[in-house]
Amino acid sequence: MYRITVKNPAGVCRGVSSLSLDGAPLPGDALVPLSDDGGEHRVEVVLG
């Protein structure tokens, strides 16, 4: 299961300023790697 949170603190219409998976930052142009491990993962996307 992936719990995805999208934040938009600046009220922008597009662009990603940061992306993280389970608290670890990912490069801005990265795809979120999927894992079929039966666990729960948290993705946070901050627009900017």
Residue 29 pLDDT: 81
What residue spans define the domains of the chain?
2-28+38-47
Residue 20 pLDDT: 97
The CATH number of the domain covering residues in 2-28+38-47: 2.60.420.10
Q: What is the pTM of this model?
A: 0.85
Q: Is the pLDDT of residue 28 over 80?
A: no
| Percent of the residues in the chain that have a pLDDT greater than 70, as a whole number | 98
Nearest Cα to Cα of residue 19 among 9, 8, 2, 32: 32
Q: Which burial class, exposed, middle or buried, applies to 26 when counting CB atoms under 10 A from its CB (0-12, 13-18, 19+)?
A: middle
Average pLDDT over residues 30-46: 94
Average pLDDT over residues 7-11: 95
Average pLDDT over residues 20-32: 91
